Amino acid sequence: MVSLFSNAVFFNSLISKIGWCVALTLINPIISSIAVNAEEVICPAELPQAIEAIINSPEFERSRWGILVEPLNASSLNANPELYALNARSYFVPASNTKLLTTAAVLHKLGADYRIRTPIYITGNPPNLTRLYLAGQGDPSLTRETLQQLARQLRDRGVETISELIVEDRSLPQTIRHPTWENYDLNFYYGAAVNRLILNENTFNLTLYPQELGQPLRLEWDDAIAARQWQFNNQTKTGEFDTDYTVDITRTLGTPILNLTGQLAMNANSDPWGMAVLNPSQYFLDTFHTLLEIESIAIASAKIRDRPQIQKTKREVANIESPPIADLIRDTNQPSNNLYAEALLQLLGENALSSPLNALEAALNDLGVDPHSYQLTDGSGLSRHNFLSPEAIVQTLQGIARSPQGEIYRASLPVAGVSGTLRNRFQNTSVQEMMQAKTGTMTGVSTLSGYLEVPEYQPLVFSIMLNHADRSVREQREAIDKIVLALRKLQFCSY
């Protein structure tokens, strides 16, 4: 930067014409601006000091940090590409940063244009079908509207009766509800069952409304078929104006009973809860059955099969195709959708004809990820039995970025201050729109990993993992965000 005052003749002339007081009035804002600009620059050698000033603050003295920052285009021939590393090869509970590995592996192996195809077979001819057979393929994008369209197509083809409606769900019991997930989580949308007959993401909405003082809260749901699988033990109360919110929903273990307790103030807004469907296969069958009858197609019997049925007379009459993988991974990463992540992991295993986790490791090997740098038990990060190192995440981000699908993968991630789980973070900062990254949050855990553009330096890839944190989620995120803001200030420096 060229100083305004490098020309002594100009400076002396300015003083002689307007005087010292006026000159200083003009000069001080310029000097202050120069000082601020100097503070906003961090040389690479100064980065450790800037990061450690944040992570070594007293509120995180009992917490554990793992951080790795590298240039995006770091060469594997470079013996030490790290700009900053702390516990980079150690294991951490990653929360939803796990999805970075899952979606990268699926995109790499299946390609951006791959679609999940759900076939529908029939025997007999309109108007009276002997059998209609839908074989579930684990498509997480199927909705009630999709089945409604199928029912209307059958009606338009002249179908009036179906003697036997069959839906096929070949899910293994251990994959439907992951054995390492918390029991409490299984009641809610983020812990919904993952099977081969997924409908409306296997969730429904329950809303609680305050009533007169002392009265139980009023319950409403948006899907009667899903809601009737549960029994609601409503022990809630409507509290006085501005009463503290204490509502909770728990399940009586081994039963379909949901216990609703706590208070909601009389003047409070409605209280929405995203709930898990209790029996997804039955929910799928009952919904499809209902939609067919709405279209005046009579069903004599309906059942679920857990294995394929081979029949020479069976012919495919239609199929349902999912959006392409490029869209599915975006719908996984942007809102951090656990069900989508688990469904895609199952799909990866089926296409590789191996277990899902073995298929995941094979795909990550192709991308250059050290298999000893992670130990995963699920594809979403909901399990606390997952272990990931910052090194594994950075290697994944670099590996997929070098692949032909690199731009598609980056586009699947939330954008700082704009979209997904980052839409409310980094707004009105230098990082807004300059970072594509994945968040991760659970009790005591906050993570953030992704790509950061630094125009005065070079593009970066980073992973920041915080475990054992006893501070609020807001405080955890603020500390992580400060680190990212420091990275954004990097600039090449000459000494």
Evaluate if residue 244 carries a pLDDT over 90: yes
Evaluate if residue 322 carries a pLDDT over 90: yes
Evaluate if residue 12 carries a pLDDT over 80: no
Evaluate if residue 28 carries a pLDDT over 60: no
Give pLDDT, residue 120.
95
Evaluate if residue 412 carries a pLDDT over 90: yes
Give pLDDT, residue 495.
62
Q: What are the φ and ψ backbone dihedral angles of 211, each rounded to 5 degrees?
A: -120, -150
pLDDT digits (tens, 9 = 90+) for 70-126: 999 876 545 568 999 999 999 999 999 999 999 999 999 999 999 999 999 999 999
Q: Mean of the pLDDT values across residues 474-494?
A: 96
CB neighbours of residue 381 within 10 Å: 28
Q: List, edge to edge, every strand of the sheet that includes 203-209.
A: 218-221, 203-209, 271-276
**Angle formed at CA 95 by CA 64 and CA 184, multiple of 5 degrees:** 115
Question: In the structure, what pLDDT confidence band is assigned to residue 176 with cuts at 50, 70 and 90?
Answer: confident
pLDDT digits (tens, 9 = 90+) for 355-372: 999 999 999 999 999 999
Q: Which residues pair with 452 in a beta bridge?
A: 435, 460
Evaluate if residue 9 carries a pLDDT over 60: no
Evaluate if residue 397 carries a pLDDT over 50: yes
Domains along the chain? 8-39 (no CATH), 44-112+355-488 (3.40.710.10), 116-322 (3.50.80.20)
Evaluate if residue 25 carries a pLDDT over 70: no
Give pLDDT, residue 365.
98
Biggest CA–CA distance in the chain, Å, is: 104
- The residue type found at 379 is G
Evaluate if residue 128 carries a pLDDT over 50: yes
pTM of the model: 0.90
Give pLDDT, residue 83.
96
Question: In the structure, what pLDDT confidence band is assigned to residue 23 with cuts at 50, 70 and 90?
Answer: very low
Q: Cα torsion for 388, 392, 398, 401, to the nearest 10°?
A: -50
Q: Is the pLDDT higher at 394 or at 74?
A: 394
Tell me the pLDDT of the chain averaged across its residues: 91
